Structure 1
C-alpha cells in the first residue's frame, strides 16, 4: 500500500490538488516579434521604464500606478548602477506567467531579462495587449471598460474568497 492510499480520503484529494500542474500555454507572440508593434519597440528601446510601468500596473492589478512603477524602475537602476534591473523585472515576468499559465520559453525568465531586457518587456506588453488590455489606460480603467462590456479581459484569480451568501 503506498502513502496516498494510507491517507484519509480528504487528505489524499488535497495532496492530489497540490501536485496538479496548471495548464501551460504558449505566448501569443515570440520574444523577437517586435515588428508586430514597432512603436512600442522603439519606445522600449529608448525608455524601457515606460513599458515596464505599463506592464507592472496590469500585472500588479493596479496596486501601483504605471508612473510609480516606472519611477521605481529608474530609481532601482540608478541606485544599483543598472545591474539589478533584469532581476527586478524578471519577477514581473514570472508573476505574469503564473497568472496566465504561460510557458517559460524560449529561455528561463532570468536569462530572458538579463540578455534581452527590451525584447522581454515588449513581449510582455504585447501579451497583455493581445489579451484585451488597453495598455495606456491602466488597470482600473481596464476593469471599468470590462464591466461595461468593453475589450479588457479579467485575468484569472489567484485565490479563493471566503464564504459568501
Structure 2
C-alpha cells in the first residue's frame, strides 16, 4: 500500500514596524467629512469600493444584507487585524460590524490608507 507524503510549506508572516492598534477610533470617521458622508449615505457602494481595494471581490459586501450580523464586514475587520497585526477582539469586531457598520468601513478605509501596504499574491502561479 503506497503512502502519501505531505509537505507543509511555511506560511508568510508579515512583520510590521507600525503600531499594533487601529490608527483611528471607531467614531473618528467624521474627520474626513466627504468620506464619512459617502459611507453613511451609500454604505453598500462604499463597502464594495473598499473591498475591491483590499483585494477581495467587488460585490462581496452585498452579502451583508441577508443577516442580522454582517458576516463580510466582520470578516474584513478580522482579516485586516490579522494582516496588519492589530490587537483587538472578535467581540469588538462583531459589535462594530453590527451596530456601527458604516463607521467600521470608514475605519477600515483609513487604516488601508494609513498603512499603504501593497497587496502581494503569494499563491499566484506563473502561466
- Cα separation, 1, equivalents of 2:21 and 2:76: 17
C-alpha displacement at 1:113, in angstroms?
Answer: 0.8
Q: Secondary structure at the match of 1:108?
A: helix
Greater RCO between the two (CA within 8 Å, min separation 6)? 2
User: What is the rounded CA distance, in whole Å, between the counterparts of 1:119 and 1:37 in structure 2?
Assistant: 12
The structure 2 residue matched to 1:73, chosen from 46, 61, 78, is 61
Select which of 139, 149, 154 maps to 2:118: 154
Counterparts of 1:73 and 1:25, CA distance in 2: 26
- The answer to whether the 8 Å contact 1:29/1:123 transfers is yes
TM-fit CA distance, 1:117: 0.9
Q: CA deviation at 1:108?
A: 2.0
Q: Which runs of 4+ in 1 moved over 2 A?
A: 72-76, 157-161
1:29-66 residue CA offsets vs partner (Å, 9 max, x unmatched)? 1111123211111111111112211221233x2x52xx
Within the candidate set 37, 44, 47, 1:49 is matched to 44
8 Å Cα contact 1:99/1:158 also seen in 2: no
Which of residues 25, 34, 38 is equivalent to 2:33? 38
Q: What CA distance in whole angstroms lies between the structure 1 residues aligned with 2:88 and 2:121?
A: 19
TM-score scaled by length of structure 1? 0.55
Corresponding residue SS for 2:68: coil
Match of 2:75 among 87, 91, 96: 91
CA 1:75–1:90: 2 relative to 1, 3 Å: closer
Offset at residue 25 of structure 1 (A): 0.4
TM-score under structure 2 length normalisation: 0.68
Q: In structure 1, the residue corresponding to 2:22 is in which secondary structure?
A: coil
Show structure 1 runs of 5+ residues with no match.
Answer: 1-16, 133-152
Q: If each structure's helix is expressed as a fraction of its own residues, which one has the higher value? A: 1
| Kept after mapping to 2: 8 A contact 1:97/1:104 | yes
Whole-angstrom CA distance in 1 between matches of 2:25 and 2:49: 19
- Provide closer, same or farther for how the CA distance between residues 158 and 26 of structure 1 changes in structure 2, counting only shifts above 3 A: farther
